[in-house]
Structure 1
Amino acid sequence: MTFARWGTSPCAARLPTPCTSQESIMPDHARHLDAHYDAPVELGEQSLTMRLRAAFRDAGRDPDHLALDEIAGIDQLHLGGRSASRSLAALGHLAPGARVLDVGCGTGGASRLMAAEFGCEVTGVDITAAFVEVAEWLSRATGLDDRTRFLCADAAQMPLPDGAFDGIWCQHVLMNMPDIAAVLAEWHRLLVPGGTLLLHEVVAGDSPEPLVLPVPWARSVETSHLRSRQSLEALLSQGGFAPVAVQDISESALAWRRKHSRREGEGEARGPALPGPALIFGDVFAEMGRNLRDNLAADRVRILEGVWRRA
Structure 2
Amino acid sequence: MIHSSAIEAELRDAGMDAWADVLAQQIQQALAGDRHGDLGRWRHLLEQLPLIQSRDLDLAADRLRIGRKEELDAETRKHIHQSLRALQPWRKGPYEVFGIHIDTEWRSDWKWQRLINHIQPLHGRRVLDVGCGSGYHAWRMAGEGAQLVIGIDPSLLFLAQFNAIRHFMAQPPNVHFLPLGIETVPENLSAFDSVFSMGILYHRRSPLDHLADLKSCLRPGGELVLETLVVEGDENTVLLPKGRYAKMRNVWFIPSTAALEIWLYRCGYKAVQVVDVTPTSTGEQRRTDWMAFESLEDFLDPDDRTVTVEGYPAPVRAVVLATA
TM-score w.r.t. the length of structure 2 is 0.63
Identify which of structures 1 and 2 has the higher relative contact order when contacts are C-alpha pairs closer than 8 Å and 6+ apart: 1
Give the drift of 1:100.
Answer: 0.6
Mapping of 1:2-21 within 5 angstroms? 8-10=13-15, 16=24, 18=27, 20-21=29-30
User: Aligned partners of 1:50 and 1:106: how far apart in 2?
Assistant: 21
Instruction: Say whether residues 1:129 and 2:156 are aligned partners.
Output: yes
State the match for 1:176 in structure 2.
Answer: 203
Q: Report if the CA contact (8 A) 1:174-1:180 is conserved.
A: yes
Of residues 248, 251, 256, the one that matches 1:219 is 248
Give the drift of 1:49.
Answer: 6.7
User: Aligned partners of 1:209 and 1:190: how far apart in 2?
Assistant: 27
User: Aligned partners of 1:226 and 1:19: how far apart in 2?
Assistant: 32
Q: Report if the CA contact (8 A) 2:45-2:83 is conserved.
A: no
Describe the superposition over 1:215-251 as per-residue Cα deviations: whole angstroms up to 9, x where unpaired: 4xx633xx21232124432221111122443144324
What is the count of residue pairs matched by the alignment? 259
State the match for 1:245 in structure 2.
Answer: 273
Structure 1 or 2, whichever has the larger Rg, is 2
Q: 1:241 to 1:209 in 2, by over 3 A?
A: closer
User: Aligned partners of 1:189 and 1:139: how far apart in 2?
Assistant: 29
Q: Which ranges in structure 2 are unaligned for 5 or more consecutive residues? A: 1-10, 50-76, 85-94, 308-312
The CA RMSD over aligned residues, in Å, is 4.3
Letter in 1 for 2:108: G
Give the drift of 1:48.
Answer: 5.8
Of residues 303, 307, 310, the one that matches 2:321 is 307
User: Aligned partners of 1:69 and 1:57: how far apart in 2?
Assistant: 11
Letter in 2 for 1:203: V
Question: What is the identity percentage for the equivalent residue pairs of Structure 1 and Structure 2?
Answer: 18
Letter in 2 for 1:18: I
User: Aligned partners of 2:170 and 2:185: how far apart in 1?
Assistant: 26
- Flag the structure with higher strand content: 2
User: Aligned partners of 2:82 and 2:145: how far apart in 1?
Assistant: 27
TM-score w.r.t. the length of structure 1 is 0.65
User: Aligned partners of 1:170 and 1:214: how far apart in 2?
Assistant: 20
Q: 1:68 to 1:204 in 2, by over 3 A?
A: farther
Q: 1:290 to 1:258 in 2, by over 3 A?
A: farther
Describe the superposition over 1:20-40 as per-residue Cα deviations: whole angstroms up to 9, x where unpaired: 4599xxxxxxxxxx9xxx8xx
Letter in 1 for 2:109: R
State the match for 2:183 in structure 1.
Answer: 156
Letter in 2 for 1:277: M
Q: Which ranges in structure 1 are unaligned for 5 or more consecutive residues? A: 1-5, 24-33, 268-272
